[in-house]
Amino acid sequence: MLMLSIFTSFYEALIGANPLNPEYREGVFSSVGIITVLISLIICLVFYIALGRWKPVFHKTAHWVITLSINAMIGFCLAYVLTNKEIGAIDGYALRFAFVNTFYAALYFIILSIVFRRFSIFAKHTPL
């Protein structure tokens, strides 16, 4: 339950509360937040552990930026689709939520990159 309230706090800190749709607090924020963290973790593991230990092919800063961008786009699409599914409509608040989730997806990937790059062979110094 604490984890769920953390995601609510994260999202409401940037976009404010939505008293017209309590569904955001009751399920959307927590489900989107958890899935965003898991997707960022999986993408980071693939980049640093699978590809970063395989061959020196996918280890440049440009590759990292592309991967970061893909992760951020997935974060936007995830929030957009799940909000539309749960709420049934997309309004201005839902779009702000999707953009904020894009920011958080990128932030999670950056933080996880700092953690996982030391386990890579070829991408040990990426993104720096």
Residue 107 parent element (H or E): helix 92-116
Q: Give 4's pLDDT tier (boundaries 50, 70, 90).
A: low
Convert the pLDDT of each residue in 7-66 to its tens digit: 988 998 899 888 888 888 888 999 999 999 999 999 999 988 888 777 777 778 888 999
For 20, phi then psi, to 5°, come to: -75, -25
pTM listed for this prediction: 0.89
Q: What is the distance between the alpha carbons of residues 13 and 100, in angstroms, rounded to a whole number?
A: 10
